[in-house]
Amino acid sequence: MSETNNLYDVIIIGGGPAGMAAGLYAGRANLKVALIERGMPGGQAATTHLIENYPGVESVDGPSLSMTMHKQAEDFGTEMITGDVEKIEDAEKKIKKVITSRGTYLTKTIILATGAEPRKLGAPGEDELRGRGVSYCATCDGAFFREKELVVVGGGDSAVEEGIYLTRHASKVTIIHRRDSLRAQKILQDRAFKNEKINFIWDTTVETIEGEGKVQKLQIKNTKTGETGEYPCDGVFIYVGMVPNTGFFSDLPILNESGYVVTNDKMQTKLPGVFAAGDGRETVLRQVVTATSDGAVAAFYAGHYVELWEEDQE
């Protein structure tokens, strides 16, 4: 492969909102840019039935917003490549190699926009009823459950905070936790305990999620007594952690203990020319709006890096 003819200014790995925003901004800056995505564009956004909290858009289904972002990036010159990225080589050098199932690509900069996925319970029925009562995002889906009875699974900050949020819509929220006490911050615990719409089931796990076309009930089990039972509900929100999609570059010294990419406010990692954006980055909020912001910032500073790279070659 000729380094002259096949060298990109920017390669973006990941086609969610962060990656597509990075592609749009890099393309508009007249950079030679490619975006590598293993599947349909949009990431988690593409699996969301309705998005109502993206500024300037009153409401839109996730797949439609994703395809609009994809077209915008493509219209401004982003080359779309479908394939699985297997490895990044020479990440510290000026010319980096992105090795995929379809070949090797050379680039001056890389933007890692690989995202993160909600950790699943692994319970039967979870995958089948996702989007039909199984959710991982109260902000995204809570409004669809007005005056319904909901279950939140988990005991950390996210579970408790999102459980409190769901009481804005639901008639009742039950937090099911496998331990006998919450792990969330005390201020969140206090708010939850004082909320008349929230009750708790302790020392309990969700064994199966059941329903005809939508969530109707859970099979639960007490972790101390082994007692099992059935719990009716209209939806279940799962908050047992997130899993960053960073496995294929876990050998690079840019991850924190949880596997998220560490960056500064310019989206730069500690490796020259390697940036990160979106849900796979160490951040406090993981929403479409924050991911697109990250992508724009990463593309902007990647462009600056390319300018310096080219000056060094003169």
Q: Which of 61, 84, 137, 251 is catalytic?
A: 137
Residue type for 226, please? G
233 is catalytic: no
Q: Which of 61, 75, 127, 140 is catalytic?
A: 140
User: Is the four-CA dihedral 284, 289, 293, 294 of positive or negative sign?
Assistant: positive
Rounded distance between C-alpha atoms, residue 261 and residue 151, angstroms: 31
Rounded distance between C-alpha atoms, residue 313 and residue 68, angstroms: 37
137 is catalytic: yes
Distances (CA, A) of 189 to 155, 184, 201, 203: 9, 6, 14, 17
Q: Which two tokens stand for residue 200?
A: 């708790």
Q: Which of 9, 141, 279, 294 is catalytic?
A: 141
User: Is the four-CA dihedral 148, 149, 153, 155 of positive or negative sign?
Assistant: positive
Q: What are phi and psi of 35, to 5 degrees?
A: -120, 125
Three-class secondary structure of residue 165 per DSSP: helix
Residue with tokens 């800056």: 29
Residue with tokens 């972790």: 223
Which residues are annotated as catalytic? 137, 140-141
